[in-house]
Amino acid sequence: MNKAQLVEAIADKLGGRQQAADAVDAVLDAIVRAVVAGERVSVTGFGSFEKVDRPARYARNPQTGERVRVKKTSVPRFRAGQGFKDLVSGSKKLPKGDIAVKKAPKGSLTGGVTVKAAAKKATAKKATAKKAAAKKAAAQAPAKKTTAKKTTAKKAPAKATAKKATAKKATAKKATAKKTAPAKKAPAKRGSARKTTAKRTASR
């Protein structure tokens, strides 16, 4: 049985071929993603999927008999459950009109994750990642605005103080100019007075 035949076999139970194809794709995708991440997917009565690491070793080429170095690798492994083994061996009969692999009773799962749990974990991780990205963006935007306001507030008083300082300098210059101006004119008046007295004496 290939994938298309599997879809056809469950199409009647799921209400159509498209729904069956989507269900098969979702189950297989959840299993593959969980095993790649290093998790163990166990379906009670059916079996478990897990990732197994194989260390580097030497092997022989069956055609030439030459010794070959094999690198370290990871491979998926499936272990059939006891219920599946019993059905295949014939010690248990397939139920007619019922599901061969029934839902596990509560408390019977000891380790690993189910297919539904793996799918829920993947969706939960995506949702948390989206929320974290949105929070970061929201936190960064107000921070930029407040810093911009602070810098403009700092610049405005600096400009005002600079204007005040220049105004004070200008007034100080005017005051000094006024003070020095009468002092310069005074000698001119004294000289003119002397000239008038000299003219008076000459006329006498």
Greater model confidence, 180 or 174: 174
d(CA 117, CA 22): 18
d(CA 73, CA 71): 6
Window from 24-33, 101-110, 184-193 with minimum mean pLDDT: 184-193
Say if residues 56 and 65 touch (Cβ distance below 8 Å). no
Window from 4-18, 88-102, 119-133, 173-187 with minimum mean pLDDT: 173-187
Which of 29, 33, 73, 31 has its CA nearest to residue 52? 73
Rounded to 5°, angle at Cα 59 from 57 and 63 = 160
Residue 153 falls inside a structural domain: no
pLDDT for 94 equals: 86
- Cα–Cα separations (whole angstroms), residue 183 to 6, 67, 169, 171, 189: 115, 115, 22, 19, 11
* Structural domain that includes position 22: 3-54+72-141
Greater model confidence, 68 or 149: 68
Q: Tell me what the mean pLDDT of segment 160-182 comes to.
A: 59
Q: Tell me what the mean pLDDT of segment 129-145 comes to.
A: 64
Residue 166 falls inside a structural domain: no
pLDDT band at 186 (very low <50, low <70, confident <90, very high): very low
pLDDT for 135 equals: 73
Scored b (16 or more CB within 10 A) or e, 157-185 reads eeeeeeeeeeeeeeeeeeeeeeeeeeeee
Q: Tell me what the mean pLDDT of segment 168-193 comes to.
A: 54
Structure tokens at 113: 């994750």
Residue 168 falls inside a structural domain: no
Q: Give percent of the chain above pLDDT 90.
A: 40
Whether the per-residue pLDDT at 111 is higher than 90: the answer is no
Beta strand extents in the chain (DSSP E only): 41-43, 47-54, 57-60, 67-70, 73-80
Domain count of the chain? 1
Say if residues 111 and 42 touch (Cβ distance below 8 Å). yes
Residue 194 falls inside a structural domain: no
Q: Within 13 A of 6's CA, how many CA atoms are on the CB side?
A: 10
pLDDT band at 100 (very low <50, low <70, confident <90, very high): confident
Whether the per-residue pLDDT at 70 is higher than 50: the answer is yes
Whether the per-residue pLDDT at 133 is higher than 80: the answer is no
CA 112 to chain centroid, in Å, comes to 28
Q: What CATH number has the domain bearing residue 132?
A: 4.10.520.10
Whether the per-residue pLDDT at 162 is higher than 80: the answer is no
pLDDT for 121 equals: 61
Say if residues 73 and 54 touch (Cβ distance below 8 Å). yes
Residue 9 falls inside a structural domain: yes
Q: Tell me what the mean pLDDT of segment 153-169 comes to.
A: 56
pLDDT band at 170 (very low <50, low <70, confident <90, very high): low
pLDDT band at 95 (very low <50, low <70, confident <90, very high): confident
